[in-house]
Structures are given as structure tokens and as C-alpha cells.
Structure 1
Amino acid sequence: MTTPVETSHSRVHAIFARWTTFSYQYALWVLLAALLIAIVSGIYVSRNLGMNTDTAEMLSEDLPFRVNLKRYNESFPQDIDTLLIVLNAPTPEQVRVATENLAARLKQDSSNFYDVYSPRVDDFTARNGLLYQSIPELERITDSLAAAQPLITRISRDPSLAAFTDVLTSAVDELNKGRSIELRPVLKGVNATLEARLNGSPRALSWQTMFSGEAQKNTYQELIIIKPRLDFSQLFPAEQSIAALHAAAESVGITEDGPVRLRITGEVALAEEELNSSLRGMEYAGIITFVLVGVVLFFAMRNGGLILNVLVCLLMGLILTATFATAVVGHLNLISIAFAVLYIGLGADFAIHFLLRYREVLENNHSPAEAIHISGGDAGAALTACTVTNAIGFYAFMPTDYSGVAELGIISGTGMIISLLVTLVIGPALLRYLPKKTAAKPATKSSVGKVLEFSLKWHKATYAVTLVATVGALAILPQVRFDYNLLNMQDPKGGAVQTFRELLAEPDLSPWHIAVLANNPQETETLAKRLADLPEVNKVVTVLDFVPEQQEEKFSLIQEMALTIGPIAATPPPQTRITSDAILAEQYKALRELVVALERFVANHPEHPSAATVSALRSTLAHLFTQLDKVSNDEKSKLLYTIEDDLLAMLPLALQSLRTATEATVFDEGDLPVAFKDRWHSDTGGYRLAVYPVEDLNDNDALRRFVRSVQQVAPHAIGVPVISLEAGEAVVQAFVQAFSLALIGVVVILLVLLRSIKYTLLVLLPLLLSSLFTAAFTILLDVPFNFANIIALPLLLGLGIDSSLHMVYRSINNELVSEVLIHTSTARAIFYSALTALVDFASLIFSSHLGTASMGILLTVGLAFTLICTLIILPALLRAPAAGVKANA
């Protein structure tokens, strides 16, 4: 008696058998039409398909954090889509001048930059910077300047190496006589400068640090915040602006071999660098994949014609899917561009199943026309079922808030339908001409089937291992996590990433702070106090903090400082020097006298607090004389003049800066510069509060604690930490929602297609097991889910359903027991199609982009488990008594 399931199968089989036979009989017309469609589609795509690289558009505008972000951006538009320029130099004088010059040059280029702002280098800060110091600090600086005033006066009159050395000698002699002079900052600075020159890594002496009595640091840093003009129709929207930035830097003397180092970071630079490293990784992976896929297809098909058939079907499917994307969506985003990768992984599956079934029928001594009829019926029914389930899986992403993946879902879901049509229309037509030779029946079983026989022979062990693995995976499943840190996805060797991480280590410069909006000064003060009391908050900064306290007392000290300096002026050493034996002798004499004075002081005062510093300088000078004795007079003069520049070049800049700083005036909030005030008090009346964390936000738990704590006080808070957390949770929620919808849809479709709860469960079980094992391995491999690798889940869903559905469908359709099923073309097709996808994605592991690499790991592990669950566990579950069952295909 014929069952409803068998009747349904026979009808579907007949429809697809006639369909493929028609394509085979009218192959020439089918192929000509396909070629014409491909040409027209290719032209249409090349002229109309756009690229949207704006990551902000990938999540729904209705999400609360997107609403808060929009409000913040309207109040402070200069803070979005920015480049952060980091300048470093050996002295504060050099980095300040470089920052001033570069900022001025960039402000002239309105075609590439909307806004240019240097937070700590402007006329207001230069003039009023001392008012931000504490009173004890100002008193210390005043005392230090008073002690250095005689030295500064004498050097400013004659800024030469000989004069400077004479002044140091006199000062050391006075110290030797018992006078109380604090020379250690000066001597340490001179010694460090000489050592740097002799060691081949020269740096200038900072007189600004000497004036303040501080030790000179290895490097000084300033920032410039730039809002570039972005072109989102281009793959790299900021490419032109960044090129203009480098050209501007070179025009003001900031070069790779100069003392000032320029680095670029910020959200725009990070996005550009991430895209570049991701694409570069894809290029390398593509070369490796092309070779490996070719090898896999060779072992799968053993026929050049069949391999070419697969490639033509893939290419045609990609073109038609891209055409659909152009017509319906109009553009690709950084996520939906992955449709090509997904299509290769799943599209090859369609062609491989159909062609291997065709070859299997040929091997059973059928003619090509009969083989087309039989294989078209068998493969068509199974592929249609897979297409429906795959399309549902992808379409389930359409109603989610993750619009970037929603676009991927509609493109890839439709791509699966296109793949079915291409495989069953163009595939049979190509078989009319490729291959020409008829395959002979193989004498032995396939190697794949021989390996799979072990799982059936030891089926009890297979059940036991599966049970233990399932229990173990369930036990560690709660540890699955999502990494919200976007930096952890990028190439750690990238310049923008390294610079950004360095800034995170600076509490006052960290870009990872939360912004809170207040409506008036009173609310600003109240919120600042409440937020500052939170244990997760390190500090809160508002515009009110930029009006110093005790200004009158500080102003008196600054006036005293101005009197101490007096009308001192200094000129830099000349650009060209006159070299003569007399000048060289004068420099030698001055240096020798300094060495004698240093030796005399150490001999007379070995326990003096300055003795160690004096001894260090004496040793460095001895090294200098050793160097000078080895070279000619011309080289001696050149070396001494470079030392003169190292020691004295910054003096005029430091004096000018100091004179400007003594021109400070008492001010209030209304006197703050407009460019500065606009970043804290918007035109719409809102006030910005910057909230900085106590903990390192590279830790996801710390990130969550910080954000949630601040949100309890200020629900509308925004900023990178909030965006990272909320976007991550939106993505996770979107995938949970999509997979729930997909699972429900797939179950319904399977029940309709298979009309059996048992077989529906058998199709779903390998998918659920492989998903469970893959999730467990993300914990064991310490590869958490992130914004990049989570995109791999739709592909794993599609391949998981496809593979198990093919096995179950073939088992039902041909009434095969597992011992026979594992030796059919279906098992081989599952193995080789999964292996094709596996080598496609395994190459991604070696990408420098960590997000891409983690996607490669997730896909490789997931596909491996899909193969295991489908070809080892599922056949063991499908085992049935041989009696009364057909044992042939």
C-alpha cells in the first residue's frame, strides 16, 4: 500500500525530473539565454550597486541607545565621525609648535575637514595655563625660575655652546664654594641630552621643563581632533581626507625622519583600518581557498567537466543574487557583503549534490538522458526542501533590529532560491556538453563510505560518546559569552589600534568615557556629584571644571613670576655656522673647564645630594672627548654644533611660552574660547558631562558594571562604552529572535515536507548537536562570539539543515538503511560540499583581522561538527533492520 509520504515524494520527483529533462533537451537555448541574462545583469550591477560603509546604519534607529545617540549628535555634532591625531616629540616645545602649525594648516582645508580642534594647544590655554596649576605648584615654579634667572639671562645674551658651558662652570664653582643652588634639574637635563646625541638617538633639551623644575620625560604628547568629510559611497570613506592630512603634515615639516611623530586613530581611522585589514585577510584567504577548493572538487568529481559545471553555476548564481541585491536593496553594507561568502559555501552544496547524484546514476549503467531524469527528480526534491528551510533561516533576520544582518538575510535567502533555479536549469543544460565521457561503475566502495562504516559498526560507542559530549557541552554552555569590545576584533598590530590602546591608558585622554547631557548648570552640578559618588566612576568632567578656583591668589604669583623673568629675549643659534680653529678651541676650552669644575666638586663634596648627578655628567663629557679625539676638525665642529642645537634650540620657544603664560587674566565661563565651550555647552542649551571609569573597560564585566551604574543615574547616557554594550546586546537579541523564528519556521516546513515528527526530529537533531558542540568549543578555544563571527551562524544553520535533510530525504525516498546510505552519492556530496566550505573558511583563521580570524575558527569548528553529527551520529540513529528494506539507490 502506498503511503501519503511516498505519493508526495513521487509527485515532487516527477515534477523535477521533467524540469531537468527539459533543460537538458533544450540545452543550447537555455545556455544562450543564461549568457545573455548574465551579461545584462553584470552591466546593471556594475552601474547601480552601491556600497554603504556607515556602521551606524546597521542597527535600527528605534533602539533606545540610537535615539540617545541621535540626540547627542544633534547637540554636539563635532564629536561624531572624528579622526584623532596624536603628536609626540622629545620636548613640549617641539610638540606644541608642531600641533599649532598642523592645526592651522588643516583649518585652511575646508574641502576635506569640517572642524579642527586642538584641546590643549591654543592662545587661551597658552595664556591661562598657569591658572590651572595648584598654588603650591605655582610657588615651586616661581622659586625654580628665580634660581635659574641668572643662567637664563646670560644664555639669552649669547646662545652658544661656549657661553652655556661657561655658565654651567660658574654655577658648579659657586656650588663648590658652599652656595645653596639647585643645579640637579639643569645638570640632569644636559647630561641626558648629551647621552642621547652620543648614543645616536638625539633629542633636544627642554627649557620649559627646566623652568618648572621637572625632569624631562622621554616624550610629550598633544592631540588634534578632526572631523573629516566622509564619502560613504566609497569603500574607504575617509581615504581622501587621510591623504590630505598626511600631505598637510609633510608641508609643515612633520616627516617620518623628523623629531615629531604623527599617528592617527579615532573612530574613523579605526573603521578604515579594520576594513582594510579585513579585506586584506580576505584576499590572502581567497588565493588559498581557490587552490584548496579546486583540490576538493577534483577529488569529489574526478572530472573536469563536472568541476567546470559547479563553477559556472556558482558564478551565475552570484551574478543573479547581486542583481537582486541591486534591485531590491540598492547597496551592500559591511555585513551584507558577506552574501558572496555565504553563497559560495551554500551554493556549491546545491551543485555538488545534483552532479554527484547524476554521476552515481550514470555509474549504474543508465544513459545520460535517463540519468538527468532520475537525478533531477531525486536531487530536485531534496534541494527544494533545503532551499525552503535555508530561505526561512535567512528571512528570519528581516524583522530584527539588526538591519545590517536583515539586509544580509533578504539577499542570502533569495540567493538560495536563485541557487536552486540555477542548479536545476543551467546544471542539466551544461551536462549536455560537459562532460562528454560516460562514467563507469566503480569497482569498490568510496573511501568516505569506508570510513563511515566504523560509526555503524561501533554504533553503541557512538551513542555513548555522543551522550557524554552532550552532557559536557550542556554543563559549560552557561559560560558562552559575547565580546563587546570592538578593539578585540581588529588587527592588534594596526597603528590606529595601538595608538588607541595607548590613549586608553591615559585617564585624562581616554576616548572610552560616557557622555551625559544636562539641561542647565544646576542639573550639571547635581548629576556630576551623583555620578562622582558611584564606585565605578573615577571622575566626572564638566565645563564648570574649566574655570579655576582661587584665581586671584594664583594671579598674584603669576605676576611675581613675570617680574622674576623680566624682559628676557633669546635668539636661536644661527642656521649656518662659521667654522674656525679659534671657535673650536673656545668650545674645547669651555668644555674642559666644565669637566675640571665637576671633578673638583665631586672630590670636595662626595656626599653632596648633587654628587651623583655631577659624576654622571662628568662621565658623559669624558665619553664626548673620546668621540672627538677620533674624528677630524671638521667633524668635531659639526658634532659640537649639533650639541649646541640640542642644548639651546628650545630656549627661545620656552621663553616665548613663559612670557605668554605670565599674561594670564582672571576669567569666568563666558570667557572660555568658543571652540572649547561648544564642546561642553551646545547651541541648543545642553551641557555635556564626561564620566570616566575606575576599571579597565577591556574587561566586558567591568564595561557592563560601568555602563549600567551610570545609566541608573543618567538613563540617556551615551558614548563608546554604552554603544558597545547596547549594540552588542541588540545584536545578540537579534540573533536569538532570528534563530527562534527560523527554528519555528524550519520545524513547520519540515513537518509539511516530511509529514513525520520522527524524521523532523532526525533532521533537527544533528543541527542542534553541532550548534551545542560549537558553542562549547568557543569556550574551550577562548573565542567568544563578537560582532564579526556571529555572522557565521546563518551559514552554519543552513549547512546543518541541508546536510541532515539530504540524508533523511534520501533515506526516505530510496528506503535505504544506514549501511547502504553512507555509500551513496548523498553521503559523498555532504562530505565534499562541507569540505569545500570548510577549506573556504579555514583560510580565514590566518587573517590579521582578529574578527575575521575568529569567524574562520567558528566556521571551521562548526562545519567539522556538522560533518560529524550528520555523517557519523545521524546514520547511527537511522539504523534499521535490513529485512524488507530496499538496499539499492
Structure 2
Amino acid sequence: MATQTSPIGRVVAFSAARPWVVLLLGLALSLAALLYTARHFAMTTDTAELISTDLEWRKREIAYDAAFPQQEDLIVAVIDGATAEIAESAAARLAAGLAERRGAFRSVRRPDGGPFFDRNGLLLLPLGTVQETTEALVRAQPFLGPLAADPSLRGVLGVISTVLEGVARGDASLRDIAPAAGALSDAFEAVLAGRPAFFSWRALIGGGQPGPREMRRFVLVQPVMDYSALQPGAAGSEAIRETARSLGLDPAHGVTLRLTGPVPLADEEFASLAQDAELVTGAMLLALLGILWLAVRSARFVAAILITTLLGLVVTAGLGLLAAGRFNLISVAFIPLFVGLGIDFSIQLSVRCLAEQGRHPDIRDALAAAGRGVGRSLALAAAAIAAGFFAFLPTSYVGVAELGLIAGLGIVVALLLGVTLLPALLVLMRPPAGGRAEFGYPALAPVEHALHRHRRAVLWIAALAAAGSAALLPFVRFDFNPLHLRSPEVESMRAIADLMADPDRTPNTISALLPSPERADVLARRLEALPEVSRTVTLDSFVPGQQEEKLALVADAAMLLLPALEGVQPLPPPEDAELVQRLGATAAALRRAASGAGDEPATAARRLAGALEGLAAASPDRRAAAAEAVTDPLATLLRQIRAVLSAGPVTRAELPAELAADWTARDGRVRLEAFPTGDPNDNANLRRFSAAVQAVVPEAVGVPISIQAAGDSVVEAFIQAGILSALAVTLLLALVLRRVRDVVLAMMPVLLSGLLTLATCAALDLPLNFANIIALPLLFGIGVAFNIYFVVAWRAGEHDLLQSSLTRAVVFSALTTATAFGALWLSSHPGTASMGRLLMISLGWELVVTLLFRPALLATSPEDAAGA
């Protein structure tokens, strides 16, 4: 028989006869691989390298990135202030502090601040807003001048006292200072209570609290990246946080700093993956040990299997580095793939060896018999699985192509060590003979007989299940948005979720490079006419419209305000004793003005009087904190007002070089940016937006286009690899089995379990994504291997397969993989959890097919099948 002359059987027998030689050779090979890995280890965490640069959309993306290198590898520092003044001051101070750390950052810039926006930002707003703002400034003129002359708490108290004098004369009323009294009371009471105190002059002048947009600023930072680290931008992010801490930019001072953008998103992805690493790893190891023990019921067999698997991982890592030169974010998945598939070979040989020990008490003889019994099927399964992995090599998905190369080599390693090192270890460990004539499931005999009797019914049910599953395939979704795979709890994701909620600041925009500003203006108008586009931005968007009318309003305000704001020598801060006296005098004046009245303005005046009296009686530190709460935002406000009132005509030529560089490439081409309407985080909306823009500007690039194109490329790569691997495996089986029916018998269960898995995903609305799709090669490999084992055993004349040691090995191999890697489901990381979920679903169906469909499929004898 073929099994008696199996080359694998002879290799097993040779290894069992010379265990020390094989062990030393295995250790030497592992040591060499370990040394090579230590000296040549390289890993890239750059996600841009996962997809081939030969694709047209990647070429456009690379060309665009080359035109604007300042937009690559960005950390977006999102600064939210308790007030608009705090946000502006914090952003300016952080940008200045980061600019001094030249070794850590390539560039630091403010896209929404700086001298140009300070001076001309008002002109970029609608004419009505400009009019409202200048009128509010004019109304505030009576107290802006005195505050500019004395920008201290004493000056603030002086302004209040001046109004109170008007109240006493009947020229004013307490209602005029009620808003200020309420805001000052809030701040001073917070100081007295030891809480952070925040006061906004801008809110006071504007007559209302500014919205989140006015209290949010940005600093764009390009860190020096270290792609040899798992978190390439971690050092840059830490430098930003360290600078912020040194400047006191923290919640205690009214500042919330969050980092987002491509760099923190990628870095925190690894941090979130590692968050549950101990839990997931512990669950994996416990499941692996538990199922292995149940499979072989021998600690020595378990130890031999684990040692073989561990050394195989070391050898595969070295071979992978030698072949691919480095690992990437996807190719490191060779670890679970190797364990899931490689351990199957060891389980098959071990379980068969245990079964053979009933006839061959000597472990060497049992191993030799096991090698003869399963060697051919192991070799064929390994060849088929490796061919399936190597089918990924010609695809454009570079990450998976490199995974296919390394995993394919790993399968070869797993087979070689499984038939050499494992037998040697077992001989050296000398496990006691089990004396089990058949290490299988005799209790399943009634089930198997029932499946044989009702073979046609079972096959019809399977056919209907396959047809129903095929009908559900159009409903299988692929979620191409990588943000949906990230933990929503990490800082970078929370920050970007906030930005996406703002249609004017969403990162899901589309850009295009155009030959001239005139061409950009023409296309901008065409795009803005589309219902999928909310607005467009070009360099000319920073040249204000209706400048003549706006500048006239600014000039009128400047004529009234600038004389009191410029050329004024501010008074020095008061001594504490003087401040105590002023606090008491102002409090007394407030109480006199409010005496006898019970309306809201009078109540607000008495409340402020109480706060001032509290400050007068408090420690000097409390008074200093109260002064800081009102004078720091005052300094920011006065600086901003002076800048706004100096606004002048703006032309394209006068735009700052840094701003122009963000919108004009070095070769003179200009950038056009389009913003979507609707939900910028909805996949369907992004598809419509991308299609509409590309219909007008085919060369456009951007996040909505790239993530969809990447998703399409991934799906196309898997379809291409699936077709190639199916052809390769089918051809291999045809060459070895030499009967069409046997090839069909080997492939039908793979097809059925795959259809059932995808149908379950559709029925439960579990989309495929960039993470869980990596599990498909593992599932395909396991399915092919299991089917080959059964078909080869069936061809060799073995009967009652459901009761055999083969079924035991297959069941426990599936359970080992399912429970070990199903532990990924425990991860709080959505992408990792989705991979564990898909593995569990697929392996569950694989067990169903193994226990129910396959016995019915192989119910006839090989001779009858050949005759048929």
C-alpha cells in the first residue's frame, strides 16, 4: 500500500531511531534562526506600504503627498479652552514652545492662527458677522480704553466703579453691568472655593458664550518618525505632552489637549491592541493547553507539541526575514497562522501515534506506523496550504502578499519539524504506552450509521444550505472604513469623532491638484453645485470677499477705538494693600447701588459685592489668582482687538508663504479641497461623495477615496488569491489523487463551510473588514487540510471515519484553533475582536461539516465511487 512506502513514514521512522541527532540539528537550526532574527529584525508600521504603489490611485496619492510633504506624518494637537481667549493663548504658547524643539519636530504650524489670521481673520467672515462684531467693539469702547490703560484687577474694579457712579447720577443702571457682574462673580467665587476660575471678555462683549468652534484651536506638528518602533510617532507625541505640561496647559488652567491625526491614530492602535494582551494571551494559552491535553491525554505529548511549535515559530521568523527582508503590520499574523495550522500537523501525528500504541507498544514503532498512516495526507495538506498562501504573492495587497510568503514557508517548516523534531522529542520523553486499540470515538457509531442510511437526505440538506448561503452572499458587507476597527475609547479616536461632527473640520475631504487658480475656481463652482458637496476651499478662499464694505466697518471702529488702545502706557500692577482697599470700596458701592431693589440686576450686584468682600478678606494668593483670571484673557483680547483693527486689503500675492505653501505645490499647481454634505462618517455617504467628485475631477485624492480604493484593492486581492489558490489546490489534488470525483470530494466541504461562514456574516450583519479578512487564509488552510485527511484515509480503505482517531485529531485540531484564537473575541479592540468572532463562526461550521456532511459524502466505498 501507499502508506507502507510513504516518504514521510520513513522520515518519521528515521527521526525516531536517531532522536539526539535530530534534536541537536533542530536546536542548531532554531539557534541560527534566532541569531539571524536578532541581527536582522526589521518591521515597518507604515500602513502606506501595505498596498502596492503600482495602483493608479496610489500613484496619485503618492504624487499628491510629494507635492505637499508638510501634510505627511501629522500630529494634530486639538486644543479646547474653557474660553476663547484661553484656547487662543494656549495654541500660541504651545506652537512657540514646540518650535524651539527642533530635534523632535520637522515642522510646527497653526492652520487657524498666527499674524495673518489675527489681523485679517475677521474679514473672512460674512459681512453681517463683521458688522455685528465691529458694532459690539464700539459699544465696548467706554471700558476698553480704561482697561487698556490699567489692564489689572484694579482697572476692572475701576470700570465697575465708573458705571456705579453713573448709576448714582441716574445716567446708567445696574442692568448695564449685570452680565459682567454675573461672569465676574462666577470667576471670583471659583477662586475663593479653590476651583479653577475662567473668565471671558470676548463672551462679555459678544453678548453670549462662544460656540465650541470659537473655543477650539489647532497646532499641526510633523514629528521625527522612527519606523523601526511599533509606535513610530510616540516620541513626538510625548514631546508635545511634555511641552504642554511645562507650559501649564492642562484642565486646571482651562486647557484640554488631545492628539489625533495619522500618527497618533496609528500609534494608539498598537497601544489598544496591547491593552488586553495579557488577558487574550492568557486565555489563548489556557485554551491551547486544555484542548491539547484533552486531545492526547499525555503531558509529555503536550510538551513535545508545544516545543515543536515554539521552535517552528523561531525558524519561520528567521526564514521570513530572510525572504521578505522585514515584517509589516499584516505579515506578523504569521504567528497565529503558524500555530493554528502547524499545530494541526503535530496533533494528527500524535493522535495517530497514540492509536497505534495499542498495536505497537514501543514508541518508535508506533511513530513509524503513524508516519506511514498519515504521512501522505500530511504532505499533501501542507503542499495544498502552502500553495494557497503563495497564491497571495502576485496580488497588489503587499501586506498580505508578504504574509503569504512567510506563512507558506512556515507551513513547510511546520511539516518538517512535525515529522522530525516531534518524533525525536517523543522518543526522548518516553511517554508511557496507552494501550488504546483505537484512540477515536466509538460512541459515534450510531450517528455515523444514521448518516450513512440517510445519506441522500443529508446531502440534499447540505445542497439547500449551500444554495441558501449563496443567496445571502450579496448581503455580505465589507466595511472599508479603518476607523471602525479602532477602539473608540482612545484619545485620538474621541478627538477625531469630535472633528467629524463638525462639517467644516472633518478630515474626510477630497483634494485635487489643478494647473492654475483659474481652473481651480471653475471646478470649485462646478463642485459646489453638486448635492454631495457642501463647500470647496482654494487658496483664493483666503482672499476675503466684499473687502471694501468690510474694511469700511473696521475703519470706523478703529477710528473710535485705536486712540484709546494704542500709544497707551499701562499702569503697573497694584500693590496688594491697594487692591484690598479697592475691593472693599467697590463692594460697598455695589451694595449701595443695589439697596432696596430685588430685581435680577440688584441680586447680581449684591452677589458680586459678596465675592469682592470675600477676596478682600482672603489671602494674597487668592487675590493674585482672581487677578490672573481676569487679566490674562484681557491681555489676549486687547492684542486681538488691536490686530483686527489694523486689517487692510488682502490679495493673493500678500498671503503668507506658509499658507500659500499649503495650497500651492512647488511646481505651481494649486489645491482644491471639497467637503461632503451629510454624515462624513457614513460609508454610503462617502461613496456617493467620492463618486460625485471624481466624476468632475478624476485625478482627485483624499481619505474617502483612498479608504474605499484600499478596501476595493483588498477585496480584489483576496478574490484573485482565492481563485489562484483554488486552482493551485485543485491542480495539486488532481495530480496526486488522479480522480476527478476525489478532488470534488476534497473541495466540496471547503466550499460549503466557506458559504455557511459568509452567510452567517450576512445574516448577523457582521461585516468583513481589514482585520478579520486576514483570518480567511487560516480558515481556508484548515478546511483544505481536514478534507485531504479524510479523502486520503477513505481512499486507503479506512471505514467508519467518524469513529476513528482521525476524527478525534480533526475535532481537537479545530477546537484548539477555535478556542485559542477565539480568545481574540475577548479583546476590547474592535478589529481584533472581529477576527476572533469570524474564526469562531467559521471553525464552528467546519466542525458541523466534519461531523455531519463529510461522513455522508464519503459513505460509499472508493471502489464503488470509482465504478460510478
Normalising by structure 2, report the TM-score.
Answer: 0.92
Decide which moves more: 781-790 or 565-574: 565-574
CA separation of 1:816 and 1:522: change in aligned 2, threshold 3 A? same
Tell whether 2:654 aligns with 1:671.
Answer: yes
- Counterpart-to-counterpart distance in 2, 1:356 and 1:140: 84
Partner of 1:720: 703
Tell whether 2:388 aligns with 1:397.
Answer: no
Paired amino acid for 1:854: S
- Counterpart-to-counterpart distance in 2, 1:179 and 1:865: 80
Q: Deviations over 1:457-515 (max 9, x none)?
A: 88467446534533432232211111111110001101001101111111222111001
Tell whether 2:530 aligns with 1:530.
Answer: no
Please show how residues 480-495 of structure 1 align to structure 2 within 5 Å.
480-495=476-491
- Counterpart-to-counterpart distance in 2, 1:207 and 1:529: 39
Partner of 2:842: 862
- 1:365 Cα deviation after fit: 4.6
Partner of 1:752: 735
- Counterpart-to-counterpart distance in 2, 1:575 and 1:266: 45
Tell whether 2:86 aligns with 1:94.
Answer: yes
CA contact (8 A) 1:185 1:215 kept: no
Partner of 2:13: 21
Tell whether 2:340 aligns with 1:345.
Answer: yes
Paired amino acid for 1:557: L
- 1:242 Cα deviation after fit: 1.6
CA separation of 1:344 and 1:622: change in aligned 2, threshold 3 A? farther
- 1:217 Cα deviation after fit: 4.3
**SS in structure 1 of the partner of residue 663 of structure 2:** coil
Tell whether 2:474 aligns with 1:478.
Answer: yes
CA contact (8 A) 1:361 1:371 kept: yes
Partner of 2:788: 805
Tell whether 2:264 aligns with 1:244.
Answer: no
- 1:619 Cα deviation after fit: 8.6
CA separation of 1:151 and 1:80: change in aligned 2, threshold 3 A? same
- Counterpart-to-counterpart distance in 2, 1:123 and 1:480: 52
Tell whether 2:803 aligns with 1:823.
Answer: yes
CA contact (8 A) 1:87 1:95 kept: yes
Partner of 2:555: 559
CA separation of 1:170 and 1:787: change in aligned 2, threshold 3 A? farther
Tell whether 2:694 aligns with 1:694.
Answer: no
- 1:645 Cα deviation after fit: 4.0
Please show how residues 565-604 of structure 1 align to structure 2 within 5 Å.
565=561, 566-568=563-565, 577-578=576-577, 582=581, 585-593=584-592, 595-596=594-595, 599=597, 602=599
- 1:343 Cα deviation after fit: 0.3
CA separation of 1:273 and 1:122: change in aligned 2, threshold 3 A? same
Please show how residues 317-336 of structure 1 align to structure 2 within 5 Å.
317-336=312-331
Residue among 119, 122, 126 paired with 1:130? 122
CA contact (8 A) 2:83 2:254 kept: no
- 1:278 Cα deviation after fit: 1.9
- 1:321 Cα deviation after fit: 0.9
Tell whether 2:822 aligns with 1:838.
Answer: no
CA separation of 1:734 and 1:313: change in aligned 2, threshold 3 A? same
- 1:653 Cα deviation after fit: 2.0
**SS in structure 1 of the partner of residue 327 of structure 2:** strand
Decide which moves more: 793-802 or 452-461: 452-461
CA separation of 1:173 and 1:754: change in aligned 2, threshold 3 A? farther
CA contact (8 A) 2:51 2:399 kept: yes
Tell whether 2:751 aligns with 1:768.
Answer: yes
- Counterpart-to-counterpart distance in 2, 1:572 and 1:580: 14
Residue among 106, 124, 142 paired with 1:114? 106
- 1:48 Cα deviation after fit: 0.6
Q: Deviations over 1:318-373 (max 9, x none)?
A: 11111111211111000000001110110100000001101101023553232122
CA separation of 1:683 and 1:451: change in aligned 2, threshold 3 A? farther
Paired amino acid for 1:303: S
Structure 2 runs not aligned, ≥5 long = none
Partner of 1:223: 218
CA contact (8 A) 1:169 1:593 kept: no
Partner of 2:230: 235
Residue among 307, 313, 316 paired with 2:311? 316
Paired amino acid for 1:522: E
Partner of 2:202: 208
Over the aligned positions, Cα root-mean-square deviation in angstroms equals 3.0
- Counterpart-to-counterpart distance in 2, 1:299 and 1:636: 74
Percent identity over the alignment is 32
Please show how residues 141-290 of structure 1 align to structure 2 within 5 Å.
141-157=133-149, 159-160=153-154, 162-167=157-162, 169-170=164-165, 186=180, 189-190=183-184, 193=187, 202-217=196-211, 220-255=215-250, 257-290=252-285
- 1:812 Cα deviation after fit: 1.8
- 1:246 Cα deviation after fit: 1.7
> Number of paired residues?
857
Paired amino acid for 2:473: L
Please show how residues 8-87 of structure 1 align to structure 2 within 5 Å.
9-10=2-3, 13-87=5-79
**SS in structure 2 of the partner of residue 254 of structure 1:** coil
- Counterpart-to-counterpart distance in 1, 2:476 and 2:218: 39
Decide which moves more: 464-473 or 354-363: 464-473
- Counterpart-to-counterpart distance in 1, 2:825 and 2:624: 54
- Counterpart-to-counterpart distance in 2, 1:621 and 1:367: 96
- 1:437 Cα deviation after fit: 1.2
Paired amino acid for 2:688: R
- 1:16 Cα deviation after fit: 2.2
Paired amino acid for 1:544: D
- Counterpart-to-counterpart distance in 2, 1:616 and 1:721: 55
CA contact (8 A) 2:166 2:173 kept: no
Tell whether 2:287 aligns with 1:302.
Answer: no
Paired amino acid for 1:514: I
- Counterpart-to-counterpart distance in 1, 2:29 and 2:439: 43
- Counterpart-to-counterpart distance in 2, 1:180 and 1:551: 39
CA separation of 1:264 and 1:884: change in aligned 2, threshold 3 A? closer
- Counterpart-to-counterpart distance in 2, 1:171 and 1:693: 53
CA separation of 1:444 and 1:417: change in aligned 2, threshold 3 A? closer
CA separation of 1:256 and 1:840: change in aligned 2, threshold 3 A? farther
Decide which moves more: 757-766 or 263-272: 757-766
CA contact (8 A) 1:189 1:215 kept: no
- Counterpart-to-counterpart distance in 1, 2:515 and 2:301: 70
Paired amino acid for 1:500: I
CA contact (8 A) 1:236 1:272 kept: yes
Q: Deviations over 1:37-89 (max 9, x none)?
A: 21122111111121111111111111011110111112111111211111111
- Counterpart-to-counterpart distance in 2, 1:155 and 1:771: 75
CA contact (8 A) 2:33 2:319 kept: no
Normalising by structure 1, report the TM-score.
Answer: 0.90
- 1:169 Cα deviation after fit: 3.8
Please show how residues 424-443 of structure 1 align to structure 2 within 5 Å.
424-441=419-436
Paired amino acid for 2:576: R
Q: Deviations over 1:635-668 (max 9, x none)?
A: 4876666445434442222112101211112121
CA contact (8 A) 2:590 2:606 kept: no
CA separation of 1:192 and 1:498: change in aligned 2, threshold 3 A? same
- Counterpart-to-counterpart distance in 2, 1:326 and 1:67: 27
- Counterpart-to-counterpart distance in 1, 2:756 and 2:806: 24
- 1:726 Cα deviation after fit: 0.5
Paired amino acid for 2:481: N
Q: Deviations over 1:839-865 (max 9, x none)?
A: 121111121221111111111111111
